[in-house]
């Protein structure tokens, strides 16, 4: 079989060069995904095409190990409140953090009023979770699909995975604590979050 080879203008090195079909390794968290694609002969650039993403998704879904293990930091007050809530749902704290993060990334950040919500909870709701007690790290192992969501969020908001989890968890804790109930919108979110956690806890 002859190798695919064509001449194109490379968007990276901007020269008229040949692209050749080559094996590439794409870093995905601590893992790497290997595939074959057309690569610029001069600078090594390749396009992350829809086909590659699809192939990568299929690979990632089958991957049974964790892709990253961010270490968000929470205050004692946040850890304790989370522990108490997790127990109510029959869960452990770390899976509970993952559920809050998934809810935030799937159902909160894409809302039209996201910025308004973010401003509200950051200024009104979560003082004690931010300030009370010593701060400590926790490891949150993340699999592929959640990693991908985290990655998109981190790129859009220019933040780390750990910070993204901190934000998601603090939002969830604020929403679940009674302090949030004065804000009508958060009350509705609290109800859907409680339902969401219940569903996940039952499926586990």
Q: Which residues bind Zn ion (CB under 5 A)?
A: 10, 12-13, 40, 42-43, 45
| Cβ proximity to Zn ion, 13 vs 47, nearer residue | 13
Least distance CB 180 / Zn ion (angstroms):
51
| Cβ proximity to Zn ion, 39 vs 117, nearer residue | 39
Least distance CB 142 / Zn ion (angstroms):
33
| Cβ proximity to Zn ion, 9 vs 25, nearer residue | 9
Least distance CB 46 / Zn ion (angstroms):
9
3-state secondary structure at position 145: helix
| Cβ proximity to Zn ion, 18 vs 57, nearer residue | 18
Q: What is the dihedral of CA 37, 38, 41, 47, to 10 degrees?
A: -90
3-state secondary structure at position 174: helix
Contacts of range 93-98, beta carbons closer than 8 Å, 24 or more positions apart: 93/138, 94/138, 94/139, 94/140, 94/141, 95/204, 96/197, 97/72, 97/138, 97/140, 97/165, 97/169, 98/140, 98/142, 98/146
């Amino acid at each position: 079989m002859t190798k695919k080879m064509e001449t194109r203008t490379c968007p990276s090195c901007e020269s008229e060069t040949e692209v050749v079909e080559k094996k590439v390794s794409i870093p995905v968290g601590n893992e790497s995904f290997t595939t074959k694609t057309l690569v610029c002969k001069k600078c090594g650039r390749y396009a992350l095409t829809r086909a590659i993403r699809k192939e990568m998704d299929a690979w990632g879904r089958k991957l049974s190990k964790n892709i990253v293990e961010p270490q968000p930091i929470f205050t004692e007050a946040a850890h304790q409140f989370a522990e108490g809530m997790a127990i109510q749902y029959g869960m452990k704290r770390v899976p509970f953090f993952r559920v809050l993060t998934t809810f935030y990334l799937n159902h909160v950040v894409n809302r039209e009023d996201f910025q308004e919500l973010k401003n509200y909870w950051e200024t009104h709701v979560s003082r004690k979770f931010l300030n009370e007690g010593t701060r400590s790290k926790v490891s949150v192992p993340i699999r592929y699909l959640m990693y991908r969501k985290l990655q998109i969020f981190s790129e859009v908001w220019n933040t780390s995975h750990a910070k993204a989890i901190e934000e998601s968890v603090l939002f969830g804790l604020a929403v679940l604590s009674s302090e949030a109930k004065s804000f009508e919108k958060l009350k509705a979110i609290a109800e859907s979050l409680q339902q969401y956690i219940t569903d996940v806890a039952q499926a586990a």
